[in-house]
DNA sequence: CTGAAAGCGCTTACAG
DNA sequence: CTGAAAGCGCTTACAG
């Protein structure tokens, strides 16, 4: 460790007091031009960098946001983080990042405490709602003195949440398959302790039922989001549901596995079997065949969360405005490709 | 903002001095058991959380690492970040995350300054080396008072770097295709201003030349890493290199696009055309056909970087040991699948 | 236009 | 075992 240069060193060398240096680095107007110049020269000569910790301490403002994420090795969480960090930098916030050891972890307390100890001005809880992994947070929510924005979970009163409308996405997928003439539409879901997985499943279920098509929970087989599990689920479905002529798969990766397994069993896609995925990963346009998918804009999800959080923090908000917690729902979009458009139709 | 509880509030309420509270929260032994209990009770009652900023200021220790990344929306950077954060949390470090607006950006200076102002103890430069995007950092390296670990770039004296051996990976891919009996092996590279792309290309080139096979820069077409560009590059190659019987593609996503385009042009994979990718993304095992690929462990890359950085910082290092900057090379691994194993061989 | 004093919320010697 | 004093590196009133 080299001895750090402090504001005192600059002040001494420029023969002014430290608060004149402070005025210079904060671009205050009330400094003689000649003094300003001299101070800047010393700052550059010494390569002085003001200590942001000291500044935060006195200003009671850290300009830092905390993010708690999970499963960063997967596409979704990292897309979301990408959106968060972009928007945060654009708004002048730094990001303190924490990751849960795994999706189901309910050891979020120490992570939350670390963030709060470091005086973050707000927190984004970017962990999908799975089972009761959110309870520890709800539990201590009333003890947390900074605003929290939740991502991707169900509506709760008094809580700010941003989420993609997964139920609508499920409906869009199912409706599209119906429109294309498919009548026996199965589902490969995500793990059913995931809120997102259940929403997509319900969208599929409700749409089929409302259309008067035969539908049953038996026609829905869960995977674990992985390509391998999609292949396995498809094999189960083939055994269980011989009439099946289409399948809505809850993410693109499982859809890839499902198409792979169906192909090996002699199904031609889309003629024997229509397939729709979920997520809109760019590679899906190059699967064999190109995959129809319900696209969700997770980067938009992330940046929306940061904007909401900034409002909730309120430094940029007029004093007479009050932040109202609310639920923001993002609309997914259907990308239609070969996998769901039979040649005969 | 609720009025924050400070150590003074706890001290007053527990009728002790603030340094006794300090002793309790830092688990110092020299506190009477009865006092300790009383203080803890007050801490819990007031839900007191020590301010980490104040602590860092006096202890001259932030327990924070800075990470500069780019392109988090892509698989590679987010895998690497995943490895970094895991290891950082395991070692008790928090992470301050910054992202360059795009890969080529050379506006890294403000990001670096923000990190240093916040007193990070070390920095991981997790940006691939592209063109001269590293120069701004090299430029001010001598002014930076904390250790930096670079990821994924060429060897430089006096600089600590961790990288996958991309040259070796290129060699492994080419050698494997030769071993499988292919003789006219083309290459789809990444953008050639990327160091990684050039390394993989050279590995391919050298291996073919050493094997006495015909090889030329003309047989190498660059893509931009995207699936779409892989398809396009393959179309070019088909026109340019009619004898081609195999291709080494510099990442799995372009390999997907390349297989897609080749398939449309009537090539059967692997019999008419052998294909090897790079990265080892899990989905590659489910491509049509399953893709042989050179796998790189980017999470290992990230965690290795954190371990190195921790050594360089030196709080856990005996005083008589000196940290020697060095170059750590990670070995990739070949996953052999259908796309490169002709049925006739 | 500039500086002496006080303080943000902690920890580190130093007394007793 | 416990507390009064000093200080980490800044900024914020307050004088002049």
| A250-260 pLDDT per residue, tens | 999 999 999 99
Higher pLDDT, B284 or B322: B284
Cβ atoms of B82 and A75 closer than 8 Å: no
Determine the 3-state secondary structure of B278 from DSSP: strand
Cβ separation of A228 and B285 shorter than 8 Å?
yes
CA/C1' separation A20–D4 (Å): 32
Where would I find the H helices in chain A? Answer: 7-14, 18-25, 33-46, 52-59, 75-90, 108-117, 135-140, 166-179, 195-210, 227-240, 252-264, 298-313
The A residues from 302 to 321 touching B (CB cutoff 8 Å) are none
Mean pLDDT of A144-173: 94
Nearest to A302 by CA among A103, A40, A126: A126
How close is the nearest chain A Cα to the Cα of B14, in Å?
21
| Model confidence band, residue A141 (pLDDT cutoffs 50, 70, 90) | confident
Cβ atoms of A67 and A96 closer than 8 Å: yes
Cβ atoms of A81 and A299 closer than 8 Å: no
| Model confidence band, residue A133 (pLDDT cutoffs 50, 70, 90) | confident
Give the integer Cα–Cα distance in Å for A163 and A26. Answer: 39
Contacts with B6 from chain A: Cβ below 8 Å: none
pLDDT number for residue B3: 63
pLDDT number for residue B283: 93
* pLDDT higher than threshold 60 for residue A184: yes
Cβ separation of B283 and A72 shorter than 8 Å?
no
pLDDT number for residue A108: 86
Q: Using alpha carbons only, what angle is made at residue B199 by residues B194 and B202, rounded to the nearest 5 degrees?
A: 125
The A residues from 95 to 124 touching B (CB cutoff 8 Å) are 95-99, 113-114, 116-119
Cβ separation of B52 and A118 shorter than 8 Å?
yes
Contacts with B298 from chain A: Cβ below 8 Å: none
| Model confidence band, residue A1 (pLDDT cutoffs 50, 70, 90) | very low
Contacts with B258 from chain A: Cβ below 8 Å: none
- Tell me which long-range contacts B235-241 makes (C-beta under 8 A, separation of at least 24): B235/B261, B235/B265, B237/B186, B237/B188, B238/B262, B238/B265, B241/B184, B241/B186
Helix (H) or strand (E) holding B317: none
Contacts with B88 from chain A: Cβ below 8 Å: none
Q: Taking the mean position of all CA atoms in its chain, how far away is CA A53?
A: 29
A184 contact to strand C (CB, 7 A limit):
no
Burial class of residue B319 (count of CB atoms within 10 Å of its CB; 0-12, 13-18, 19+)? exposed
User: What is the nearest nucleotide to B52, using C1' and CA?
Assistant: C10
Q: How many CB pairs under 8 A join A and B?
A: 145
pLDDT number for residue A96: 97
pLDDT number for residue B2: 46
Which residues have Cβ atoms closer than 7 angstroms to strand D? A 4, 6-8, 18-19, 22, 25-26, 48-51, 54-55, 57-59; B 15-17, 19-20, 23, 29-35, 54, 57-58, 60
Contacts with B85 from chain A: Cβ below 8 Å: 72, 97-99
Determine the 3-state secondary structure of B203 from DSSP: helix
Contacts with B96 from chain A: Cβ below 8 Å: 94-97
Handedness of CA B189, B193, B194, B196 (dihedral sign): positive
Give the integer Cα–Cα distance in Å for B129 and B106. Answer: 11
* pLDDT higher than threshold 60 for residue A189: yes
What does the block give as tokens for A291?
């995959």
The A residues from 132 to 151 touching B (CB cutoff 8 Å) are 143, 145
Cβ separation of A79 and B56 shorter than 8 Å?
no
How close is the nearest chain A Cα to the Cα of B30, in Å?
25
DSSP state letter for B154:
-
Determine the 3-state secondary structure of B332 from DSSP: coil
Give phi and psi for B68, each to the nearest 5. -110, 120
**Residues shown for chain A:** 345
Mean pLDDT of B295-311: 97
Determine the 3-state secondary structure of A77 from DSSP: helix
B107-144 burial code (b ≥16 CB/10 A, e <16): ebeebbebbbbbbbbbbbbbbbbbeebbebbeeeeeeb
Mean pLDDT of A324-333: 94
High-pLDDT (> 90) share of chain B, %: 81
Q: Taking the mean position of all CA atoms in its chain, how far away is CA A72?
A: 10
How close is the nearest chain B Cα to the Cα of A314, in Å?
10
Residues 21-50 of chain B with CB under 7 A from strand C are 22, 25-26, 48-50
pLDDT number for residue A3: 63
* pLDDT higher than threshold 90 for residue B278: yes
User: Which residues sit opposite A65 in a β-bridge?
Assistant: A95, A122
DSSP state letter for B291:
P
Choose the mutation target among B64, B70, B73, B291 for the interface with A, i.e. most A CBs under 10 Å: B73
CA/C1' separation B19–D5 (Å): 12
Strands A327-330 and B327-330, sheet pairing: unpaired
* pLDDT higher than threshold 60 for residue B345: no
DSSP state letter for B325:
P
Nucleotides of C under 7 A from a protein CB: 1-5, 7-13
Burial class of residue A263 (count of CB atoms within 10 Å of its CB; 0-12, 13-18, 19+)? middle
DSSP codes, B211-261:
TT----GGGEEE--SSHHHHHHHHHHHHHH-TT--EEEESSHHHHHHHHHH
CA/C1' separation A20–C14 (Å): 34
* pLDDT higher than threshold 70 for residue A315: yes
Nearest to B200 by CA among B235, B163, B228: B163
The B residues from 261 to 300 touching A (CB cutoff 8 Å) are 263, 282-283, 285-288, 299
CA/C1' separation B47–C6 (Å): 28
B57 contact to strand C (CB, 7 A limit):
yes
Chain B CA closest to residue A118: B52
Q: Phi-psi bin for A55: left (phi > 0), alpha (psi -120 to 50), beta?
A: alpha
Query: What are the tens digits of pLDDT across the range B99-155?
Result: 998 888 878 889 999 999 999 999 999 999 998 888 777 777 777 889 999 999 999
A32 contact to strand C (CB, 7 A limit):
yes
Handedness of CA B108, B223, A82, B283 (dihedral sign): negative
């Amino acid at each position: 460790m080299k001895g750090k240069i402090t504001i005192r060193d600059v002040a001494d060398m420029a023969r002014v007091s430290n608060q004149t240096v402070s005025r210079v680095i904060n671009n205050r107007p009330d400094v003689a031009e000649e003094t300003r110049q001299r101070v800047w020269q010393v700052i550059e000569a010494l390569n002085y960098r003001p200590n942001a910790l000291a500044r935060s301490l006195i200003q009671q403002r850290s300009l830092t946001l905390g993010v708690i994420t999970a499963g960063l090795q997967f596409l979704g969480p990292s897309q979301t983080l990408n959106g968060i960090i972009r928007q945060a930098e654009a708004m002048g916030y730094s990001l303190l990042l924490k990751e849960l050891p795994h999706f189901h972890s309910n050891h979020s307390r120490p992570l939350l405490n670390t963030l709060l100890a470091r005086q973050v001005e707000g927190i984004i809880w970017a962990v999908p709602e799975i089972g009761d992994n959110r309870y520890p947070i709800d539990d201590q929510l009333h003890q947390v003195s900074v605003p929290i924005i939740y991502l991707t979970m169900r509506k709760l009163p008094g809580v700010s949440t941003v989420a993609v409308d997964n139920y609508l996405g499920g409906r869009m997928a199912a409706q599209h398959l119906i429109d294309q003439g498919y009548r026996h539409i199965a589902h490969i879901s995500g793990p059913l302790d995931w809120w997102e997985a259940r929403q997509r499943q319900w969208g599929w279920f409700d749409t089929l039922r409302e259309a008067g098509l035969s539908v049953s929970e038996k026609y829905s087989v869960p995977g674990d989001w992985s390509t391998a599990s999609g292949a396995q689920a498809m094999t189960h479905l083939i055994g269980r549901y011989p009439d099946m002529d289409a399948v809505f798969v809850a993410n693109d990766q499982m859809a890839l596995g499902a198409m792979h397994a169906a192909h090996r069993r002699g199904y031609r896609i889309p003629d024997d079997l229509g397939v729709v995925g979920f997520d809109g990963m760019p590679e899906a346009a190059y699967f064999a065949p190109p995959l129809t998918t319900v696209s969700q804009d997770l980067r938009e999800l992330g940046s929306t969360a940061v904007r909401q959080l900034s409002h909730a923090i309120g430094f940029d908000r007029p004093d007479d405005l009050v932040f109202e917690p609310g639920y923001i729902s993002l609309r997914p979009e259907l990308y239609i490709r070969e996998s769901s458009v039979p040649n005969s139709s």
